[in-house]
Structure 1
Amino acid sequence: METILLAQVMGGVYGLLAIILGAFGAHALKKKLTLEQLHSFETGVKYQMYHAILLVVLSYNLGFDQPLDKYIINSFVFGTLLFSFSIYGLCLSAANGKKLRFLGPVTPIGGLLLVVGWALLLYSFIAPMF
């Protein structure tokens, strides 16, 4: 899939799912999750929405004529997937009494990919100055 299309489609999918999962968390999970789990779930939704918006904005603003642009988009797409969805899995599995512990290390890997994406984006802004 072309990188610009990947950014647009995944930005739209992540935005759509953030709204659905946010409403699901606020209503259906309110009585099922602890306050700490609910807060974690909300953090996943927020980061997902932030990066959904970012992907859509970048899809209209990056030139996509350099490999760096592809690395930036891939870092945000896969970082969001690993970060937010591992949090959802941890919260929902814990609420059902069968916490999927293997997801614990996935969350920081996703977070690291998000950091890499932001660092690469920053680099793309300042590199032309040198």
Structure 2
Amino acid sequence: MLKKQLWICSITGALAVIFGALGAHRLQPLLSNAELSTWETAVQYHFIHALALLVIATGNRNYKFLNWSFTFFALGILFFSGSLYFLSVKSHLGIEQTGLLGALTPVGGLFFIIGWIMIIFHRTGK
């Protein structure tokens, strides 16, 4: 499990750096202030939770609730940050309708919240 978690940490951390640099250097002249702000929010949450994944993976001794927390943080990055990345650039990709994609952002936020709550259960021994 640790090897898989470290692999996920490496990929998500690297992507956070790549997306941060992309937003700062390539997308800044293309995006509106609102779109750029959304992109930056996605990067911020991506980074925070990539680091949380690393802390869990390196300190994890196969604890059930920490593994759940890891899973929910990873899903949160995918759904929350991923949907915000897409929503930031959709108009530049010629996409006007997002369908259910906009609903993925709060689902990803909920995954982040659940991940943090799983840590509470770990600490209280439940």
Relative to the length of structure 2, the TM-score reads 0.90
Shift of residue 92 of structure 1? Answer: 1.1
Deviations 1:61-99 (A, max 9, x none): 1221x4323211111111111111111111111233423
Give the alignment of 1:24-43 within 5 angstroms: 24-43=22-41
Q: Is residue 11–residue 54 contact of structure 1 (8 Å, CA) maintained in 2?
A: no
| CA distance in 1 between partners of 2:57 and 2:109 (Å) | 21
Q: Which ranges in structure 2 are unaligned for 5 or more consecutive residues?
A: none
Residue 51 and residue 100 in structure 1: after superposition, are their counterparts in 2 closer, same or farther (change >3 A)?
farther
The one-letter code sitting in structure 2 at the alignment partner of 1:107 is T
Amino acid at match of 1:85: G
TM-score (norm 1): 0.88
Superposition deviation, residue 100 in structure 1:
4.7
5+ residue gaps, structure 1: none
Report matched runs for 1:91-130 at 5 Å.
91-101=88-98, 102-125=100-123, 127-128=124-125
> Hey, what does 1:84 align to over in structure 2?
81
Task: State the partner residue of 2:20.
Answer: 22
Name the amino acid aligned to 1:78. L
What is the CA–CA distance in structure 1 between the aligned matches of 2:117 and 2:56, rounded to whole Å? 14
Question: Sequence identity of aligned pairs in percent?
Answer: 30
Change over 3 Å in CA distance of 1:30–1:85 after alignment to 2: same
Give the number of equivalent residue pairs: 125
Give the letter aligned to residue 32 of structure 1.
L
Alignment partner for residue 75 of structure 1, among 54, 69, 72?
72
2:60 aligns with 62
Q: Which residue of 1 aligns with 2:11?
A: 13
